[in-house]
Structure 1
Amino acid sequence: MNTPVSALMPVGWGILLGLLAQSASAGFIDNSSATLTARNFYLDRDYKGESPYPAAREWAQGFILKASSGFTEGTVGFGLDATGLLGLKLDSSPDRTATQLLSYNPVTREARDEYSELGITFKAKVSKSKLSIGTQFPSLPVITASPARLLPQSFRGAYLISDEWDGVTIHVGRMDRVNLRDSTDYGPIGLASPNGRFRPGATSERFDFYGGEYRPATNLTLRLLRAELDDIYTQDFLGVLHLAPMGEGTFKSDIRVFNSREDGRAKAGSIDNLNVGGMFSYRWGAHSLGVGHMRQFGDSAFPYIAGGEPAVLSDGTMSADFVNPGERTWAVRYDYDFAGVGIPGLTGMMRYLHGDSIDLPALGGRDLKESSKDFELAYVIQSGPAKDLVFRVREAFYRNQQDAGSTFRSDNETRINIDYTLKIW
């Protein structure tokens, strides 16, 4: 795979011309769909202790339009997807920007009143294999388009998904650009470097990934993937997801192993990390209780793409990623579905994470600790004119022993979301 994605774009235009010629095809029109999601998002980080800014606090309104065609008829079917994104400022100030909800001027720190973009994806299908070229929203352990802000992160590239064999899914892709959650411009793909973990500013124009999923039974999924951010890092992933009936409930095992090292010219410096984590949960009735542990082995922190979150045990935490050099993390999580007491649509979550043995001598020491207490309450309206309207409130209380220069600073964080998705057709 040595062809740049930009060179594949003329192929996409050829597909588009084919679509125009065959747009009367029943499959192309009849199997199309479109949805519009309105997302109201308030984010408030109240920093504790020494900090350049006392808070990061903004309120914004977003709209996400997703339109997807079916495929034209024939041995090779062609299709087209489009994604329109719009973010609107409701409240912001230069002294409390950088929530990643809104695009802002890095000099004046003034948030833009609005930002928008349009993404186009050309797709072709043969049998049970689909190739797409253009705007991508991958969701794999080695590359994930983060949905954790007002508008989702996106990538530009080519992506093949094949389900030709029963129980097996193959993934092959190349991305050459990324569009961050608070941006409208595509740029080179960077390496996340919070807390000064790696050489700053390292970027690449080629991210390759390949591998697959094997489901030997309905309750067991095995995943093996490799990713290469050219001249920065190579990463192998092994995952095991297993469900087993136990008593009156189900026991779930989620094991994830990432092995990472520098690649090529090592533009971000030395990378040597083995991340091993497991979450073990038991669900019975309306309850779910899980306990997990994650460890960092090697001389460096865990590497992942800038602008998102790592798909490790701590995925979903709001204020930090818990993948510093040498870090050991314990997690306890409890979920409850209030349908069990007659309130369908209402769910709650409590989680505690504790990390220790953090090796950050430039930020305070070689045996530092951090912790996060996370709470979430969500409600989905079940019927009536506002059916499927979602309310979600999250609170986090994050503390660490790192110096004030740390990217992740002790804070109390609040996030409030109101989402509504309308099916247009």
Structure 2
Amino acid sequence: MRRNAECLMQCALSVPFLCMSTFVSAAFFEDSTIALTNRNYYLDRDYKGDSPISAVREWAQGFILRANSGYTEGPVGFGLDLTGMLGVKLDSSPQRSGTQLLPIDPQTRRAKDEYSELGATVKARFSKTSLSVGTQLPSLPVITASPARLLPQTFRGASVTSSEIENLTLQAGRMDRVNLRDSTNNQPIAMASPNGRFKSGVFSDRFEYLGGEYRFADNFTARYYHADLENIYAQDFIGGIHSIALGSGRLKTELRVFDSRESGRAEAGKVDNLNAGLTLSYLTGGHTLGVGYMYQTGDTAFAYLAGGEPVVLSDGTMSADFVNPKERTMLLRYDYNFVAMGVPGLAAMIRYLRGTNIDLPSLGGSNLTESSKDLELSYVVQSGPAKDLALRIRHAFYRNDLSSGASFRSDNETRINIDYTVKF
């Protein structure tokens, strides 16, 4: 284990220096950044009611090293980014594995003691346009590299970002492989299919997206993206974020609309879903009060990539995704930033989601429900030797009336994260 960690550090730190003879540019080195994130993660999911297993419970330590170069000089600048990751088992057993913190043997369900990977990205920049090829961590409505476990999900492919036109940012990309959160190898991309929503075991070698956002004013941004997972599904997203002063605070409005349908040979089956979500949040002092509603129509569930979470109104929930066929979801959320009480770095959140009208005849009926009560407390050390040390504690009470064959089952879930990033 120690040998793997040392090799990971040496590779990520040495490659930029080995490039010195090729990239003769001070900016290539002067604008470089190196950061190592130490992540300690505990996940405990205690199932309730009729369930084939009683709980999954694991504890692991992760290391995420990011070494990003600057760009060479000239009309077109070139650079190199490296991402090294190592995960180490601290506690697990075959009876409690399956949290997706660690890879497991499918026959014995025993978690690996450690796993690691190294990703490289070659990048180029011209004016206000940049191109990257290699390991990708996109964060867009139609494709997001999930950061919700010990090590983040990554994709392999190419992406372009351009801001040549004032207030307009355009983005395009093509991905051909994905590295899941509890895996060390790239594999073809699939559509998520919890609760048996779509045909499983279907993969694609190409995911493409195109779109961007336009800032009409300082307080209003509109977004549009089109995506296609070849021969599986196509999706259009339109959204907007607007804020306005109101009384002693500000009112923020966010709209997200996804239109999904089958693509090409429709190898995973029919896809027919319209998902529209609207949230209103009022911020005043340290308080933020939010309400939201998500409406789904069509014959199937929402379509999104396997290994991550959908970027919809329910984004951030721990035990379910709330995007079953015909589901309607209500959201209530309250956040408090304790900086208003003179305690910077301390924040708390409470959230309630309730989904109704779920149409899953094979799992219990056509008017099923689910709900989640989420609590969160986080603190980031502001100064001293432990500056930027972050502690995050989350707990969820999730319940549904689906049958025991459902992917998401009633549970009480606890997650504890301790992150500390060192910049070199």
TM-score by length of 2: 0.95
Give the aligned partner of residue 135 of structure 2. Answer: 135
Distance 1:387 1:76 in 2: 38
Give the aligned partner of residue 8 of structure 2. Answer: none
Give the aligned partner of residue 144 of structure 1. Answer: 144
Which string of whole-angstrom CA distances, capped at 9 and with x for unpartnered residues, describes residues 331-376 of structure 1? 0000001112221111000000000000000000000000000000
SS of match in other structure, 1:140: coil
Alignment of 1:22-421 (within 5 A): 22-421=22-421
Which string of whole-angstrom CA distances, capped at 9 and with x for unpartnered residues, describes residues 290-330 of structure 1? 00000111000001000000000000000000000010000
Which string of whole-angstrom CA distances, capped at 9 and with x for unpartnered residues, describes residues 82-113 of structure 1? 00000000000101111010011011100000
Distance 2:194 2:320 in 1: 9
Give the aligned partner of residue 12 of structure 1. Answer: none
Q: Letter of the 2:53 partner, please give it.
A: Y
Q: CA deviation at 1:52?
A: 1.5
Please list every run of at least 4 consecutive aligned residues from structure 1 whose deviation after the TM superposition is greater than 4 angstroms.
18-21
Q: CA deviation at 1:24?
A: 3.0
Q: CA deviation at 1:19?
A: 5.6
SS of match in other structure, 2:65: strand
SS of match in other structure, 2:95: helix
**Conserved? CA contact 1:22–1:72, under 8 Å:** no
Distance 1:368 1:297 in 2: 15
TM-score by length of 1: 0.95
Distance 1:363 1:20 in 2: 60
Q: Letter of the 1:377 partner, please give it.
A: L
Distance 1:223 1:322 in 2: 23
Distance 2:24 2:208 in 1: 36
Q: CA deviation at 1:21?
A: 4.5
SS of match in other structure, 1:205: coil
Give the aligned partner of residue 9 of structure 2. Answer: none
Distance 1:185 1:106 in 2: 16
Distance 1:21 1:418 in 2: 40
Distance 2:410 2:358 in 1: 15
Q: CA deviation at 1:20?
A: 5.2
Q: CA deviation at 1:64?
A: 0.2
- The size of the alignment, in residue pairs, is 409
SS of match in other structure, 2:257: strand
Q: CA deviation at 1:202?
A: 1.4
Distance 1:19 1:75 in 2: 20
Q: Letter of the 2:118 partner, please give it.
A: L
Distance 1:143 1:232 in 2: 15
Distance 2:21 2:165 in 1: 32
Which string of whole-angstrom CA distances, capped at 9 and with x for unpartnered residues, describes residues 118-168 of structure 1? 000000000000000000000000000000000000000000000111100
Distance 1:108 1:19 in 2: 44
Q: Letter of the 1:420 partner, please give it.
A: Y
Distance 2:279 2:200 in 1: 32
Distance 2:358 2:288 in 1: 30
SS of match in other structure, 2:309: coil
**Conserved? CA contact 1:346–1:377, under 8 Å:** yes
Q: CA deviation at 1:27?
A: 1.2
Q: Letter of the 1:106 partner, please give it.
A: P
Q: Letter of the 2:311 partner, please give it.
A: A
Q: Letter of the 1:385 partner, please give it.
A: P
